[in-house]
Amino acid sequence: MNSLIALLGRADSPTDGLEDYCTFLAQALEGCDIQMSLVRVRWMEYGWFGGVRELWCRSSKWRGKWILLQYTALAWSRRGFPFGAILALFVLRLRGVRCAVVFHEPFGYGGVRWIDRIRTHFQNWIVRTLYRQAQKSIFADPLRNIAWLPTDQTKAFYVPIGANIPEPLSRGMSNQNGQKTVAIFCLSDSPHRNREINDISQATNLATANGVSLKLIFLGRGTPEATADIERAFQGSSIQVLNLGLCTSEQIARVLSESDAMLCVRGQFFPRRGSALAGIACGLPIIAYAGAAEGALAEAGIELVPYGDKTALGNALVHILTDRNRWRELHEKNLDVYRKHLAWRRIAAEVVRVLDYK
């Protein structure tokens, strides 16, 4: 069996999407006769000197092996200046390792403060440097969306990320005249969280005013901290609200598979958003703010409305929940996109192709 190593920086909290990604990819790669192990550079625990020293020792037997360095800015830095990723790649190159970088963030964060602008320029320099130094680069965004890539893109590859949930079980729409379940998977940190909850409240109240009986299920990152805000927003409403907080991947798959629609209001919709990918994998019609639903997601069952237009958000929700034909159309589109592009076995096959495993 061939071997492969996924190299990660510090763990995220309370959930770690990068570790989940690597875990599900490793399981899928087993079907391709490849064993992928997960290794962390423990710079948070030991400091950069200790973390790099440990990486140097561990990599002594990695010569000739493929390493997938998983890049996000905060995985390799405390404050968004991820020079540590360059340092780790330098150590691997000294060891004669074959290095590929998986860019979960191909751009800098952005921001309006002077420190944000400096951080963004630095992050953009880091991703360009990683690209130049790596033997191959994998992007979760379509390559045409990454303007800084050189014209010669022979070592750049687009491989969509998958949903960090087990193989979901899809079902049909719930009873047309009964209560409909709408899932909200993850909320942002403050101060954006209050805007998101307000948008959800106004859109769903519009739906109930049009005769739709609703049950809202909040789950995932950001929802435990939002308990009081959610209760205030829906106080006195006829909408049934359930906040499940953080859930296992199995629980997430079950809840989404049993829901009728998903609202995505965490800013504009982008193809790297794990919560939306989980909804697509479950065949769940999604209503979201227009952003960049491109690549594999351009074919998905996503109803996009203008950013911040809560009336359009509510009207789209009503349409999907009351028009069985429209619901089925979006449902089947999502299942088709999942089978063609987002199933882990498909992603594993693409990784095998990129790395030229025979």
Instruction: Please determine, for residue 289, whether its predicted confidence score (pLDDT) is greater than 70.
Output: yes
**Torsion angles phi and psi, residue 218, rounded to 5:** -95, 135
- Nearest by Cα to 318 from 210, 241, 176: 210
Residue 118 corresponds to which tokens in the numbers above?
């400096």
Please say whether the beta carbons of 305 and 334 come within 8 A. no
Nearest to 300 by CA among 246, 346, 267, 262: 262
pLDDT score of 175 more than 60: no
Distance CA 204, CA 209 (A): 9
Q: Is 90 exceeded by the pLDDT of residue 271? A: no
* DSSP assignments along 189-236, one per residue: PTTHHHHHHHHHHHHHHHHHHTT--EEEEEESTTTTTTHHHHHHHTTT
Q: Which two tokens stand for residue 278?
A: 């989980």
Beta pairing, strands 66-71 & 2-8: parallel
Q: Is the pLDDT of residue 168 over 80?
A: no
Q: List the helix and strand counts (H, then E) for the chain.
A: 11, 12
Rounded Cα distance, 357 and 40, in Å: 24
Structural domains in the chain, CATH included, are 2-162+343-354 (3.40.50.2000), 180-342 (3.40.50.2000)
Q: How far apart are CA 237 and CA 158, in angstroms?
A: 45
User: What is the C-alpha separation between 264 and 182, in angstroms, rounded?
Assistant: 11
Give yes or no for residue 17 having a pLDDT over 70. Answer: yes
Least confident residue range of 52-61, 112-121, 164-173 = 164-173
DSSP helix/strand/coil, 124: helix
- 131 membership: H or E segment, kind and range: helix 114-133
User: Which residue is listed with tokens 């960090």?
Assistant: 164
As a whole number of angstroms, the distance between CA 84 and CA 116 comes to 19
Q: Tally the residues of the chain.
A: 358
Of 42-46, 172-176, 270-274, 335-339, the range with the lowest mean pLDDT is 172-176
Confidence at 172, pLDDT banded by 50, 70, 90: low
In the chain, what is the straight-line distance between the N-terminal and C-terminal CA atoms, in Å? 11
Least confident of 156-170, 232-246, 277-291, 297-311: 156-170
- Given a contact cutoff of 8 angstroms between Cβ atoms, the answer to whether 123 and 87 are in contact is no
179-226 residue pLDDT tens: 999 999 999 988 889 999 999 999 999 999 999 999 999 999 999 999
pLDDT at 272 over 80: no
User: What's the whole-number average pLDDT of the chain?
Assistant: 92
The answer to whether the CB of 198 falls within 8 A of the CB of 286 is: no
Note the pLDDT tens digit of each residue in 301-354: 999 999 999 999 999 999 999 999 999 999 999 999 999 999 999 999 999 999
Q: Which of 53-67, 165-179, 218-232 comes out lowest in average pLDDT?
A: 165-179
CA nearest to 316, candidates 264, 257, 254, 242: 264
> Before 14, cis peptide (omega within 30)?
yes
Collapse the DSSP code of 296 into the 3-class scheme (helix H, G, I; strand E, B; otherwise coil) and give the result.
helix
Strand partners, 351: none
Residue 78 vs residues 18, 121, 272, 353: alpha-carbon distances, Å: 17, 17, 22, 34
Q: What is the pTM of this model?
A: 0.90
